[in-house]
Amino acid sequence: MACLFRRSIAAQLSRILGTPTEKLIPMVSAVPVSKKQQTLDFRVSVNSLLADDCLKSGSNVQSRAKTLSEQLTCDDVVTEIAVGQGTINFKVNRSLLAEVVMQAISKKGSKYGIDSELFRGYPCGRVIVEFSSPNIAKKFHAGHLRSTIIGNFIANLKQALGNDVIRINYLGDWGMQFGLLGAGFQLFGSEVKLKTNPLQHLFDVYVEVNKMAENSEDIQKAAQVFFKKLEGGDEQTLSMWEQFRSISIEEYEKIYQRLGVHFDDYSGESMYQEKAQEVLCLLDQKGLLKKTKQGTGVVDLSPNGDLSVYAKIVRCDGTSLYLTRDVAAAIDRMKKYDFDQMIYVTDKEQCTHFQQLFEVLKIMGYNWTERCQHVPFGLVKGMKTRKGDVVFLEDVLNEARLRMLQNMAASKTTKELEDPEDTAEKVGVAALIIQDFKGPLLSDYEFDWDRVLQSQGDTGVFLQYTHARLCSLQRTCEDDLQTQFNPAYLQDPQAIALLQHLLRYDEVLHQVSEDLQPKHLVNYLVMLSRLASIAHRTLHVKGNLPQRATARFLLFKGTSSVLASGMKLLGITPVEKM
Ligand code: ARG
């Protein structure tokens, strides 16, 4: 992989600057490939050398770059040195480039890009990722879908980097909504419907009873009675709630499976009713629980202790809040898992909530609070299906599959498939994911089915299509290849561009691991697909000299392997035919 090149360039710099090679290695980076012009392979920015004190400051950057470049010499690895804009650029031996990249991909397989010196010293440990976390009987809105795919991506990434990852789904499975749901179910619930279409039925009951409760004190009372019984641990009530919960989880699991998502633990707010009371006692003991005039309990978060900023932690009637339960849950997870990092994935409207959560934990004296992180994301506007507003995740997946099936049926290039529905589903999911991961996570975006499912441009369909095409090439050519790989046959500009791009994979993964923004990887894979299509059009495999055919074949094979592993990290299942 790029290691050999980076090391060799860093060693040259080290000789001149006296800085240890190891320190210089991360400053050598592969140059992003441009479709318009050929580029050199690596660069070192003079500013980064200055910032790290490898270079004494003095005359201007450009002349420093020039002086430094004049002291460097070409060797077996580096064949050209040039001064760029504030950088020194390096071209490496072309035959070595092809050999090193191809060998690394075939040797490292799915570890290519991760098994890299850039990740040396990367701290590994136990990481909790909490994501998806829908509310039973309520809508599964676009925010829950975003949390699901973003959380899954973060969990995949952390796992690939060698962490022990625990995926938690923290359900909204408690609160007054269950009072209403229970009261409603007693009035017009149907055991049959609960068996055949549970999520829909619970949602319908909930909507209906909410409507009725608006003008009926009886219903409101019944709901309160139901919830009181539930909190009091009444057996019959509890078993009804349990049934709602477990049936809902069963349904969720089926749908998560379609998305390729799984959880290690279905937790939920219900588990922290009692523990929240313990948190209140603890806060009280520590003298941190303040009473307001209105009778609520709060924790003072103001810098001067004047209650100008506070977090509400208990209601007047002594019941706990969303925040209280989260405090209890965090403490419990620390006890249970002894995590090194915990990541919560929700929309940005919960930023204040998590800020307060972390501040309360810190004030309580938990020094592990800094291991907790909230990854917020922006809102999706206008996600609708033909049935109307999105109520269930299943509707979105069905719509994506249906539309994709229609597009595939209308396309001339579509292959005969064993299970078109399954392919349409995988391509549809890829489309949803790429649309969502294209921009910065914090940005809002407008949802548009036609744009999501376009076959060209930066879409999931394009990635899947490219992957399928590369796989089909492998299927048709595999038998013809008998010769050894010879790097001399990968010297066309289209091949060099692909190799240069493949060289950058570890840097991109490193960047993603730092800021957890999937867009870097999406951009990378889209560019990889573009370069692969160009190469595919020009660098024919069939009917060529055996050695040339083999070299090209292996280049496409390596490309499809990197494309596939990048897609899998994002949560996409690559298709081999479409
Ligand atoms: N169920 C919540 C909602 O739908 C999200 C839970 C997020 N996680 C947490 N620990 N508070 O808004």
Q: In the predicted model, what is the mean pLDDT of residues 232-256?
A: 94
Would residue 510 show up in a list of annotated catalytic residues for this protein? Answer: no
* 393 Cα–ligand 1 center, Å: 16
> Residues 517, 371: one domain?
no
Q: In the predicted model, what is the mean pLDDT of residues 207-216?
A: 93
| Euclidean distance between CA atoms 491 and 504, whole angstroms | 18
Given the residues 91, 141, 374, 467, select the one marked as catalytic: 141
Would residue 540 show up in a list of annotated catalytic residues for this protein? Answer: no
- Residues 564 and 467: beta-carbon distance below 8 Å: yes
Ranked by mean pLDDT, the top range of 307-316, 332-341, 377-386 is 332-341
> Residues 144, 54: one domain?
no
Q: Note the Cα 504 to chain centre separation in Å.
A: 20
The overall average pLDDT reported for the chain is 94
Q: ∠ CA 145-147-148 to the nearest 5 degrees?
A: 65
The residue out of 349, 377, 405 marking a domain boundary is 377
Domain count along the chain: 3
For residue 128, give the DSSP letter. Answer: E
Q: DSSP strand E in 9-48: where? A: 28-30, 42-45
Which ligand 1 atom minimizes the distance to the CA of 143? 4
Phi-psi sector, 18: left (phi>0), alpha (psi -120 to 50), beta:
left
* 112 Cα–ligand 1 center, Å: 35
The residue out of 320, 351, 377 marking a domain boundary is 377
pLDDT at residue 561, as a whole number: 98
Q: Is residue 87 part of a domain?
A: yes
Q: Which has the closest alpha carbon to 343: 85, 133, 556? A: 133
The residue out of 317, 348, 377 marking a domain boundary is 377
Q: Is residue 446 part of a domain?
A: yes
> Residues 88, 130: one domain?
no
pLDDT at residue 276, as a whole number: 94
Q: ∠ CA 106-110-113 to the nearest 5 degrees?
A: 85
The pLDDT of residue 362 is above 90: yes
- Residues 424 and 401: beta-carbon distance below 8 Å: yes
pLDDT at residue 192, as a whole number: 95
- The pTM score is 0.95
Q: Is residue 113 part of a domain?
A: no
> Residues 147, 244: one domain?
yes
The pLDDT of residue 313 is above 70: yes
- Residues 21 and 31: beta-carbon distance below 8 Å: no
Q: In the predicted model, what is the mean pLDDT of residues 35-41?
A: 84
> Residues 367, 430: one domain?
no
Q: Is residue 337 part of a domain?
A: yes
Residue 58, number of CB atoms within 10 A of its CB? 9
Ligand 1, residues 322, 346, 349, 353: which to mutate, most atoms within 8 A of Cβ? 346
Which ligand 1 atom minimizes the distance to the CA of 171? 1
- Residues 468 and 564: beta-carbon distance below 8 Å: no
pLDDT at residue 50, as a whole number: 81
- Which residue has the least CA distance to atom 6 on ligand 1? 133
The pLDDT tens digits for 251-287 are 999 999 999 999 999 999 999 989 999 999 999 999 9
CATH number at residue 329: 3.40.50.620
CATH number at residue 456: 1.10.730.10
Q: Which has the closest alpha carbon to 485: 213, 230, 107, 144? A: 107
Question: In the sheet where 297-300 sits, what is the strand order?
Answer: 289-291, 297-300, 310-314
Residue 233, number of CB atoms within 10 A of its CB? 9
* 373 Cα–ligand 1 center, Å: 14
Give me the torsion for CA of 232, 237, 240, 241, rounded to 10°: -30
Placement of tokens 């791009």 in the chain: 501
The pLDDT of residue 465 is above 60: yes
> Residues 534, 401: one domain?
yes
The pLDDT tens digits for 372-425 are 999 999 999 988 888 778 888 999 999 999 999 999 999 998 899 999 999 999
HSE (CB half, 13 Å, CA atoms) of 451? 12
The pLDDT of residue 1 is above 60: no
Given the residues 23, 108, 138, 577, select the one marked as catalytic: 138
> Residues 422, 488: one domain?
yes
Would residue 138 show up in a list of annotated catalytic residues for this protein? Answer: yes
pLDDT at residue 54, as a whole number: 74
- Which residue has the least CA distance to atom 11 on ligand 1? 326
| Euclidean distance between CA atoms 398 and 415, whole angstroms | 22
Q: Is residue 387 part of a domain?
A: no
- Residues 565 and 113: beta-carbon distance below 8 Å: yes
331: Cβ contacts below 8 Å, ≥ 6 apart: 275, 279, 361, 366
Measured from CB, residues less than 6 Å from any atom of ligand 1 are 130, 133, 135, 170, 172, 326, 344, 346
Q: Is residue 473 part of a domain?
A: yes
Q: Is residue 108 part of a domain?
A: no
Radius of gyration of the chain (CA): 28
pLDDT at residue 355, as a whole number: 98
| Euclidean distance between CA atoms 49 and 39, whole angstroms | 22
| Euclidean distance between CA atoms 449 and 382, whole angstroms | 10
The pLDDT of residue 458 is above 90: yes
pLDDT at residue 3, as a whole number: 84
> Residues 292, 407: one domain?
no
Alpha-carbon dihedral sign for residues 375, 564, 251, 271: negative
pLDDT at residue 58, as a whole number: 67
Q: In the predicted model, what is the mean pLDDT of residues 122-127?
A: 95
The pLDDT tens digits for 154-163 are 999 999 999 9
- Residues 342 and 154: beta-carbon distance below 8 Å: no
Placement of tokens 């957890």 in the chain: 516
Name the token pair of 408. 């595939």
- Which residue has the least CA distance to atom 1 on ligand 1? 172
Q: Is residue 114 part of a domain?
A: no
> Residues 50, 150: one domain?
no
Longest pairwise C-alpha distance within the chain: 88
Q: Would you place residue 20 in the very low, low, confident or very high pLDDT band (cuts 50, 70, 90)?
A: very high
> Residues 159, 291: one domain?
yes
> Residues 185, 330: one domain?
yes
Ligand 1, residues 170, 275, 333, 343: which to mutate, most atoms within 8 A of Cβ? 170
3-state secondary structure 302-370: CCCCCCCCEEEEECCCCCECHHHHHHHHHHHHHHHHCCCEEEEEEEHHHHHHHHHHHHHHHHCCCHHHH
| Euclidean distance between CA atoms 366 and 489, whole angstroms | 60
Question: In the sheet where 87-92 sits, what is the strand order?
Answer: 28-30, 42-45, 87-92, 78-83
> Residues 273, 145: one domain?
yes
Domain hosting residue 505, numbered range: 393-570
CATH number at residue 82: 3.30.1360.70
State how beta strands 265-268 and 289-291 pair: unpaired
